[in-house]
């Protein structure tokens, strides 16, 4: 199936080939961190691999900061800007999935995402899905949306925690990834289908 994403610079639908559809959620997460925190994470082939990363890099000066990971059901709740990450099983098979948290409360977590339900947001709604939460004094657990899925947990950027890497280690994304962030609008063919509400409205 061909999926459609949105350009942050143009209110138009961008056409992507089927082989690229699994990258839409990763591209949204990467752009969100870049726009809101000025950082990016390293190269990944699939969304679930983001949970294996330990650091992000500040684009302005190349400095590294911690990317803290928390398992679903642990004591630390996600916050605005955290990345929810699913493993590659069930509905998120093969690639896994990543979504951006835009609100987290005692009873629910609101996320924005690409390439899951692809529905038009109702007027006034500012999230893709609202996930129910079970919480007690020691646990914060985000419940399943689909019967067959497994949420690994979430990753949160910590700009108060610099990380010094050794000289042979670098998490800077490849040139192709950087170009996809900066020039994604020029790298794809724009196909205007119809005016739709989209996830990038929350990026600023």
Q: What is the pLDDT of residues 114-124, one digit of tens each?
A: 988 878 889 99
Question: Among the listed ranges 22-31, 88-97, 107-116, 193-202, which one has the minimum average pLDDT value?
Answer: 193-202
DSSP code per residue over the chain: ---EEE-SSSSSEEE--GGGGGGHHHHHHHHHHHHHHSEE----SSGGGGGG--EEEETTT--EEEEEEEETTSSPPP-TT-EEEE-SSGGGTTT-EEEEEEEE-SSEEEEE-SSSS-PPPPTT---SEEEEEEE-SS-EEEPPSSSS--EEEEEEEEEEEEEPPPTT---PPPHHHHHHHHSHHHHSEE--------GGGG--
**pLDDT-derived band of residue 80, with 50, 70 and 90 as boundaries?**
very high
pLDDT greater than 90 at residue 110: yes
- So what's the pLDDT on residue 97? 96
Is pTM beyond 0.85? Reply is: no
CA dihedral (53, 55, 58, 61) positive or negative: negative
pLDDT greater than 80 at residue 200: no
Tell me the pairing of strands 83-86 and 151-163. antiparallel
- So what's the pLDDT on residue 157? 98
pLDDT greater than 90 at residue 167: no
- So what's the pLDDT on residue 117? 80
- So what's the pLDDT on residue 23? 63
- What are the contacts of 74-78 at 24+ separation with CB within 8 A? 74/139, 74/140, 74/153, 75/138, 75/139, 75/140, 76/140, 77/104, 77/135, 77/140, 78/104, 78/109, 78/140, 78/142, 78/154, 78/156
- So what's the pLDDT on residue 116? 87
Domains and CATH numbers, the chain: 4-202 (3.90.1720.10)
pLDDT greater than 70 at residue 1: no
Neighbours of 198 (CB within 10 A): 21
pLDDT tens, residue by residue, 44-71: 999 999 999 999 999 999 999 999 999 9
Helices 24-37 and 175-182: crossing angle, nearest 10°? Answer: 70
pLDDT greater than 60 at residue 34: yes
What is the set of active-site residues? Answer: 25
pLDDT greater than 70 at residue 106: yes
- So what's the pLDDT on residue 135? 95
pLDDT greater than 50 at residue 94: yes
């Amino acid at each position: 199936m061909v999926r459609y994403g949105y350009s942050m610079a143009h209110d138009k639908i961008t056409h992507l080939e089927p082989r690229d559809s699994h990258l839409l959620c990763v591209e949204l997460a990467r752009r969100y961190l870049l726009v809101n925190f000025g950082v990016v994470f390293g190269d990944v082939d699939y969304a679930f691999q983001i949970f294996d990363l330990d650091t992000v890099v500040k684009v302005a000066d190349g400095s590294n900061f911690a990317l803290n990971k928390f398992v679903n059901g642990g004591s630390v709740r996600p916050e605005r800007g955290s990345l929810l990450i699913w493993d590659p099983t069930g509905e998120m098979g093969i690639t896994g999935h990543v979504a951006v948290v835009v609100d987290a409360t005692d009873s629910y977590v609101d996320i924005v995402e690409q390439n899951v339900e692809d529905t038009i947001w109702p007027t006034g709604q500012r999230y893709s899905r609202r996930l129910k939460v079970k919480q007690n004094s020691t646990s914060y657990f985000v419940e399943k949306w689909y019967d067959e899925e497994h949420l690994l947990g979430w990753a949160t950027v910590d700009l108060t925690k610099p990380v010094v890497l050794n000289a042979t280690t670098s998490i800077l994304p490849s040139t192709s990834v950087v170009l996809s962030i900066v020039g994604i609008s020029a790298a794809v063919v724009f196909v205007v289908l119809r005016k739709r509400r989209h996830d990038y409205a929350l990026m600023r």
